[in-house]
Structure 1
Amino acid sequence: MKAGHVPGRLAAGAYILHSGLGKWSGDEQEAAGVHGMAASAYPFLGPVPPRRFLKAVAAAEIATGTLLLTPFVPAFVAGAALAKFSAGLLGMYWRTPGMHKPGSIWPTQEGMAVSKDVWLLGIGLGLVVDGLAGRRAARSGS
């Protein structure tokens, strides 16, 4: 892991891991809330039972956070996991009415908490780009 990757990986990884650990033991009310928001943005999730969905989200967060925090996981792999995870969250932001101003990417007050996930996408894509550049340099012998 490059020294320059540590701050982003540590901040994002710790935050996401903590979130996943909290969701793992979530109650019925939390499960219904998380599932309801996700199913309204992604209707194919509707048939999934809320508790099962919450466990799946928790597992994805735990896995993503762990990848980011594990020093020997390549930047490309950790970044791809973070980018995919945050893209799903941003898709939910974009598809949920009332989270952003009509005809705009900018959040409403209700969407502010989810819109901040754009920073996670930026960190993830930065790791992917740096990982790809490192692979190219290794192949060319630089």
Structure 2
Amino acid sequence: MISRSLLRQLPARAAAGAFVLHSGLGKRAADQETAERLHGWAASTYPVLRKIDAKRFTALLAAGEMATGAALLLPFVPAAVAGLALTGFAGALLGLYAKTPGMRREGSIWPTEQGITLAKDVWMLGIGLSLVLDDVTRTDR
């Protein structure tokens, strides 16, 4: 029997999980040029990533996305765990949005045309936080 909380979470978990899993699957076979582009962008925001080879970074990114997507899609993974994974992933993406020049309008949190692709990832942050809050405030245990 499906619990009411899982049923409540199902649309958000399925939508975000399928999206993130698909994104990770698409990065598994990234060519060198794609890996270098992804790595360069991430390393410009998170300098610690400069120590990692571009292909290895992309493989780790793909694995992290696939694991996050799977955690969201698998109903036996607690919502708090899946939500924390999604929140961390979305937070990193929003860090790129906040720190990459040209993504936001001058003096504003609102995106430029170039920033919309990252700014829209705020929905993943909202879903992740909602899953965590829903799980920790459950009363039907």
TM tier, shorter chain? Answer: over 0.9
1:6-58 deviation digits (Å, cap 9, x = unpaired): 11100100010011011011101110111111011111111211101100100
State how 1:1-142 maps to structure 2 within 5 Å.
2-134=6-138, 137=139
Q: Percent identity?
A: 53
CA RMSD, aligned part only? 1.2
Report the 3-state secondary structure (helix = DSSP H, G, I; strand = E; otherwise coil) of the residue aligned with 1:60.
helix
State the AA in 2 paired with 1:115: A
1:47-73 deviation digits (Å, cap 9, x = unpaired): 211101100100100000000000111
Deviation at 1:96, TM superposition (A): 0.6
Query: 2:6–2:75: 8 Å Cα contact kept in structure 1?
Result: no
For 1:13 and 1:85, how far apart are their aligned partners in 2? 12
For 1:81 and 1:40, how far apart are their aligned partners in 2? 23
State the AA in 1 paired with 2:61: V
For 1:35 and 1:46, how far apart are their aligned partners in 2? 8
Report the 3-state secondary structure (helix = DSSP H, G, I; strand = E; otherwise coil) of the residue aligned with 1:52.
helix
For 1:20 and 1:111, how far apart are their aligned partners in 2? 21
Deviation at 1:138, TM superposition (A): 5.8
Unaligned runs of at least 5 residues, structure 1: none
Unaligned runs of at least 5 residues, structure 2: none
